[in-house]
C-alpha cells in the first residue's frame, strides 16, 4: 500500500518557534508549570487544542474577501444559511460567535431548576451552561467508553438501558432535551454509531423528548460510521450526515472544529416557536439574526469549511494521521487510549508515570516534561482538570489521568508528527526520572486554566 499523503499543498507558511532546553526550563518555571500560561511563540508544536486552530483553505480565504458586511440581509448569511440547511435538513439557522454562545441561548430558554438533560457525555461548556440555569446534566456513556485499554468501534455510544431507566426515574416531562455529542470530545473523541443515534431517537419519540446533536465533529463521526458500521461503506459522507441529522430535532455546533474556521458557531432546528425565542435572545446577546456574533467574512469561511470537511480524501488523511501517531506510540509500549479518537491521541499518564501518585498529578508532570524535552504543548485531562476536594481537604481524583494531544486540522505534516512520537518515546524511556507536581495556587472553578504548580522536591 502507498503512503497516505496530506491531501493539500501549502501556499502560505507560518514560522514555528525553536527554543533551547535551557530557555524552556526558565519559561516553564515562569509559567508555573501550566501550559495555558506559556506564550504560544515559545511553543514548537502546539497540541493544546484543535479548536479554532485549523488551517483555512485558499477557497476559504477567497471567501473571506467575498464577505459582505451589511448589518442586515447580507448575501454571506444566505450562503451560510443554505449550506447549513442542506447539511442538516433543518430549516431554521441561527449564527453565533462560537459553540458556547449557541448553548447559552438554547439552555437559557429550555433549562431551569428541576430539569434534566441526558447525554452520552456533555462537553464542559455544555454542562456549565446547563448548570448555570439550575438544571442538571446527566452523562449516560456506554460501559466500554469508560475504559482506555478496551478497543471498541463506538465508544461514544449512549447506554440505551440506562437512558430508559433515567427517563423513568426523572420523568419525561422534566427532560427538555436529550443531547448526543459527536464525536464524544470529553470521552477521547470516540464516535457514536448510527444505530445508537436511531435507538436514542426512538426512545425520545416515545417519550416526547426532542433530540439535539452537539455537532462539533460531525464529519469525523460520519467517517467512523462509514469505516466501522455495517451498511455504510459505500455511502457518501453528505448522505451519512443527512441521515445522522435526520434523527435530530435540532443541533448546536462550534465552527471552530469541523468547519475549519477560527471562530463561529450556530444553532439549527425545526421548531419555529423555539427558534423565535432563540432569535429574541440572540439580538440582545450576539447580534441581528443575519450575522449572530460574526462578521460576514466568517459566515463565508464557515459555509465553505462545512462542505470541505466532508471530502473523503481529507477525512481519510485526518483519521489515519491520528491513528498513525497512536500506533507509533503503542508499538513503543507507550500507554495510549485505544482505539485512537477522531481529533486527538490520549496518553494514559497513570500508567505512563506509575511511580507518581494521583495527588501529585502525573498528567501535569507529563505535560511539563513533553514541553521541556521537545517544546510540545499538550493538556492534562485528569485530576487537575476534574479533581475535587472532600471535607478534609483530601483530593478526590478524576476517573482517569490523561494527557491529550489534540491535532489541529491541516496544520502539521507527517514529519512534525514523527517528531512528536520521538519526543514522547524518549520521555517514556526516562520516565522514572520524572517528578510529581504540587499546586501552589488555584482558583475555585476551572482551576486548570490558571493554577500555579511546582515539582515535588
Ligand X SMILES: *Cc1c(COP(=O)(O)O)cnc(C)c1O
CB neighbourhood size of 165 (10 A): 12
Of 264 and 363, nearer to ligand X (C-beta) is 264
CB of 123 to ligand X, least distance (A): 4
CB of 4 to ligand X, least distance (A): 25
CB of 50 to ligand X, least distance (A): 9
Of 216 and 353, nearer to ligand X (C-beta) is 216
| DSSP single-letter state for residue 344 | E
Helices 296-308 and 58-66, packing angle to 10 deg:
150
Residue partners of 102: CB distance under 8 A and separation at least 6 = 94, 96, 252, 253, 254, 265, 266, 267
Of 46 and 369, nearer to ligand X (C-beta) is 46
CB of 266 to ligand X, least distance (A): 11
Cα 41 to chain center, whole Å? 23
Of 216 and 453, nearer to ligand X (C-beta) is 216
Give the C-alpha separation, 327 to 336, whole Å. Answer: 9
Of 256 and 409, nearer to ligand X (C-beta) is 256
| C-beta separation of 107 from 87 below 8 A | no
Of 80 and 123, nearer to ligand X (C-beta) is 123
CB neighbourhood size of 318 (10 A): 22
Of 31 and 216, nearer to ligand X (C-beta) is 216
Beta-bridge mates of residue 178 = 118, 211
Q: What 3-state DSSP class applies to 59?
A: helix
CB of 191 to ligand X, least distance (A): 13
The closest residue (CB) to ligand X is: 99
CB of 253 to ligand X, least distance (A): 8
| C-beta separation of 401 from 383 below 8 A | yes
| N- to C-terminal Cα separation, the chain | 50
CB of 291 to ligand X, least distance (A): 17
CB of 208 to ligand X, least distance (A): 25
| C-beta separation of 80 from 299 below 8 A | yes
Give the C-alpha separation, 16 to 407, whole Å. Answer: 15
| C-beta separation of 306 from 259 below 8 A | yes
Of 255 and 424, nearer to ligand X (C-beta) is 255
Give the largest Cα separation in the chain, rounded: 63
E strand or H helix that includes residue 177: strand 177-181
Residues that bind ligand X (CB under 6 A): 51, 98-100, 123, 125-126, 181, 185, 214, 216, 254, 256-257, 265
Of 214 and 369, nearer to ligand X (C-beta) is 214
Of 256 and 377, nearer to ligand X (C-beta) is 256
CB of 257 to ligand X, least distance (A): 6
Cell matching residue 436: 510529581
CB of 96 to ligand X, least distance (A): 9
Give the C-alpha separation, 335 to 226, whole Å. Answer: 27
Residue carrying C-alpha cell 461514544: 156
Helices 21-30 and 362-374, packing angle to 10 deg:
140
Amino acid at each position: 500500500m502507498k503512503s497516505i499523503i496530506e491531501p493539500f499543498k501549502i501556499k502560505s507558511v507560518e514560522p514555528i518557534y525553536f527554543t533551547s532546553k535551557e530557555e524552556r526550563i526558565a519559561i516553564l518555571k515562569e509559567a508555573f508549570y501550566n501550559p495555558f500560561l506559556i506564550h504560544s511563540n515559545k511553543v514548537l508544536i502546539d497540541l493544546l487544542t484543535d479548536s479554532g486552530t485549523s488551517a483555512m483553505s485558499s477557497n476559504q480565504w477567497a471567501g473571506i474577501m467575498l464577505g459582505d458586511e451589511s448589518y442586515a440581509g447580507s448575501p454571506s448569511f444566505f450562503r451560510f444559511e443554505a449550506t447549513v440547511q442542506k447539511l442538516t435538513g433543518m430549516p431554521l439557522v441561527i449564527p453565533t460567535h462560537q459553540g458556547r454562545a449557541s448553548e447559552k441561548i438554547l439552555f437559557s430558554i429550555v433549562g431551569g431548576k428541576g430539569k434534566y438533560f441526558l447525554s452520552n457525555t456533555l462537553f464542559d461548556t455544555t454542562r456549565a451552561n446547563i448548570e448555570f440555569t439550575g438544571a442538571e446534566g446527566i452523562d449516560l456513556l456506554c460501559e466500554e467508553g469508560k475504559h482506555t485499554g478496551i478497543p471498541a468501534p463506538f465508544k461514544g455510544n449512549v447506554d440505551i438501558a440506562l437512558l430508559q431507566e433515567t427517563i423513568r426515574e426523572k420523568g419525561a416531562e422534566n427532560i427538555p432535551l436529550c443531547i448526543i455529542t459527536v464525536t464524544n470530545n470529553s470521552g477521547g473523541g470516540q464516535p457514536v454509531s448510527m444505530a445508537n443515534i436511531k435507538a436514542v431517537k426512538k426512545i425520545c419519540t416515545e417519550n416526547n423528548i426532542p433530540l439535539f446533536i452537539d455537532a462539533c465533529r460531525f464529519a469525523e463521526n460520519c467517517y467512523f460510521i462509514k469505516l466501522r458500521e455495517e451498511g455504510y461503506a459505500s455511502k457518501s459522507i453528505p448522505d451519512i450526515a443527512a441521515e445522522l441529522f435526520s434523527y435530530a430535532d435540532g443541533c448546536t455546533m462550534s465552527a471552530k472544529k469541523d468547519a475549519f474556521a477560527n471562530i463561529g458557531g450556530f444553532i439549527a432546528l425545526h421548531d419555529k416557536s423555539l427558534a423565535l425565542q432563540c432569535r429574541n435572545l440572540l439580538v440582545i446577546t450576539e447580534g441581528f439574526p443575519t450575522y449572530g456574533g460574526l462578521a460576514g467574512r466568517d459566515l463565508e469561511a464557515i459555509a465553505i469549511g462545512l462542505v470541505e470537511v466532508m471530502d473523503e480524501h481529507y477525512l481519510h488523511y485526518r483519521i489515519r494521521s491520528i491513528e498513525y501517531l497512536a500506533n507509533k506510540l503503542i508499538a513503543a509500549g507507550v500507554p495510549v487510549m485505544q482505539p485512537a479518537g477522531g481529533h486527538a491521541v490520549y496518553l494514559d499518564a497513570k500508567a505512563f508515570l506509575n511511580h507518581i501518585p494521583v495527588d501529585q498529578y502525573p498528567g501535569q508532570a507529563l505535560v511539563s516534561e513533553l514541553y521541556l524535552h521537545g517544546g510540545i504543548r499538550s493538556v492534562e485531562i485528569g485530576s487537575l482538570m476534574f479533581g475535587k476536594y472532600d471535607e478534609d481537604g483530601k483530593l478526590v481524583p478524576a476517573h482517569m489521568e490523561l494527557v491529550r494531544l489534540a491535532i489541529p486540522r491541516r496544520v502539521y505534516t507527517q514529519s512534525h508528527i514523527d517528531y512528536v512520537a520521538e519526543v514522547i518515546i524518549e520521555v517514556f524511556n526516562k520516565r522514572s526520572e520524572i517528578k510529581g507536581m504540587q499546586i501552589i495556587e488555584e482558583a475555585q472553578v476551572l482551576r486548570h486554566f490558571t493554577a500555579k504548580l511546582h515539582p515535588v522536591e
